[in-house]
Structure 1
Amino acid sequence: MATALITGASSGLGAEYARQLAARGADLVLVARDGAALDAVAAELRPSGAAIEILVADLLDPDQRAKVEKRLADPDRPVEILVNNAGYGLPLAFERNDIDEEARHLALHVEVPMRLMHAALTPMLARGSGRILNIASVAGFIPRSTYGAVKGWVISFSRWANGRYGPKGVTVTAVCPGFTHTNFHERAGLPPGHEGVPGWMWLNAPRVVAESLRDAARGKAVSVPSLKYKLLVGLTRILPSSLAARAGESGR
């Protein structure tokens, strides 16, 4: 039975990955800052028969993050699936944002998944098997303040890593959903449904997770859930930068 470690597992896409992986027979290591919320997710999923381990950790704290890195690197308790999901958004007005908060945002979206991947890769490559899913966004394909920039890094690095390690049995997939109904936007201080985004552009978390797990199983470097977002991503390749930037102003 596979073991999956999921960051940001207390809510949103992270909790949905936990549900779907448990339903597929995986054991779970759930990571987040909120221990009570992790306990609630674990209580929901234990009837499925999954063995569930909880790691309460602030991934921006080096000492706390080290616990997660150590768990990933443990050859006696192998983690076959890593889901780098932890993240949050900031307002698009970079010039008005607190620069220290921007630095934390950069670290959580770039440094943290890089470090966790590094910890996971050695035992995965030694076994010749493993899957890593890095949660990015369609924002990574368009100019969209620092959020688009960090997600662009995730996509680029995942593409390279999948090409490098996929032939050795370890696949790396950048998951790029569009607007998805979770508590992500509420945590950014925005009530759901009030972002000027048409209803047809919204996805639901179960669909995003199911499609991304399918794409990861197929060894895809990039997963863009839903046909409509695949088409939109295709358009970004031909739009002038000024138009793409304007499109990126929609929503948060």
Structure 2
Amino acid sequence: MFRLAPRILAPVARLAVIRAAAPAASARAAAMRAFSASTAPRMSAGTGDVELHSTLLREIKHEKEQNVEGATPEFLAEFKSANKEWSIRDEPRDKEVALVREFGNEKITVLFNTDALDEADELEQELEEGEEEQDAERSLPVPVSIIIEKPSTPTAGALEISATIQDGGFFIESADFTASPVLAHDATAQGDWARRSKYSGPFFGNLDEGLQEQFHAYLAERGLGEELADFVPLYVEYKEQKEYQAWLENVAAFVKN
């Protein structure tokens, strides 16, 4: 998710003393000053600026060679073609992504972000070597927040389901009802605190197995099944790659200026 070197000019008082100098010499000196000012590199005063900028440019070049700029990856094109009911809300420089669709009188929002990659890296570092080999084929785990609301009946409240996507499935961790759809979408620290202070339901794994199955069937009927579970981890990696390249370009431009 960043000064031009001072030029030492002759004091004004000294100009009066050398006013009698030859006009040609004075003209040559003025020309040299103008040339120096126009060709000075726009870099800060730091000694490592040029090297840092060059390294950033090499990394940008490498990333562009690995990823065709502006090209839509195959997995994304296929998903959009087969799942027109889902819209993707992805703002540049934001790490969170939202998938949104309508289902009857409901509005369904699935929220996830690029933090999943950092969390997966930390988990992998904590695992012992034997466990790493055992889990080598597992897909990227992505925490998601699923908000289901009924816009035509705001007083109906909203259902917020926390889950983890992995290996082509949704693993529900909690199902929370809130009387305010606005609160369910509030991403501020105050909103998070307000949700945490309310009873969020029992630990999902303690529910009757039949009830757990019905919750999973409830999500699957709304399109939160294997296809979406395969798509989200791929999009997290795609999103992180886009933001990384944009970060490189922004930092390189800053260092250069």
TM-score tier, shorter chain, comes to under 0.3
Rg larger in 1 or in 2?
2
Provide the TM-score with structure 1 as the length reference: 0.23
Comparing both chains, which one has the higher relative contact order based on Cα–Cα distances under 8 Å and sequence gaps of 6 or more?
A: 2
Provide the TM-score with structure 2 as the length reference: 0.23
